[in-house]
Amino acid sequence: MLSGPIKIGKSTLLEKIYLGLKDEFSIGGVITLGQKERKFLNLKNGEERHFKEENEQKGITIGDYFIAEKAIEFASEAIKDSQDKEIIIIDEIGILESEKKCLYEPIRELLNSIKNTEEKFMLLCVRERVLPQILALFEMKIDDLWRINNQPDEEILNQLKRFIISAKL
C-alpha cells in the first residue's frame, strides 16, 4: 500500500514502476494521471481516458474535477480486467471510494476474487486522509505501507521496484 500527501508524486511514481516492470511482469489496474487534464491509464493495454468527456453530462464531481460516467466505466473495466495479472496497481482509492462511490464496487469485487491468491501482488495507492476508513471498509490489513513524505526520487523508485520483484519471486 502506498500513501502520502496530495500532489507529492505518488501517481507519477506508480507510472514509473509500471513502465519499469511491464516488460518483465503482466500488470493490470489503473493509474490516475495529470494535474489539469486528469485521465485514467489502463495498465493492461496502455489505453487512456480523460475524466471529462466531451458533451458528457453524467458523472461525479469531486473538488475541482468532474469524472464522466464513461471514464468511471473505463476505469472500472480496467480494474475488473486485472484479475489475471501478476501485479495489480490501483491509483487512487480516495474519498469517493470511502463513500462507496465511483470505483468502490470494482475494487471490492477484485479484492474478493483474489483474496486467497498468493501469486498476485497488489499495490494500492490510498488517499492519506481516508486510509483508516478504506482499511475498515475493505476489511484489509496493512502488510506493507509505503508512506511517501517527499517528492519521490530515483532511490524510492528503485526500492519499491526491488520490493515488488522480491515479492513476486
**Orientation of helix 104-113 relative to helix 69-80, angle to 10°:** 10
119 three-state secondary structure: coil
pLDDT digits (tens, 9 = 90+) for 154-166: 999 999 999 999 8
- Domain architecture of the chain: domains with CATH: 2-107+127-168 (3.40.50)
Instruction: Give the E-state strand segments of 12-129 in sequence order.
Output: 27-33, 39-42, 48-50, 59-62, 65-68, 87-93, 121-126
**Orientation of helix 10-21 relative to helix 154-168, angle to 10°:** 50
Query: What pLDDT score was predicted for residue 169?
Result: 59
The three cell numbers of residue 74 are: 473505463
The strand pair at 121-126 and 59-62 is best described as unpaired
The pLDDT tens digits along the chain (169 residues) read 999 888 899 999 999 999 999 999 999 999 999 887 899 999 999 999 999 877 778 999 888 888 999 999 999 999 999 999 999 999 999 999 999 999 999 999 999 998 777 778 999 999 999 999 999 999 888 777 889 888 888 999 999 999 999 887 5
144 three-state secondary structure: coil
Model's pTM, two decimal places?
A: 0.92
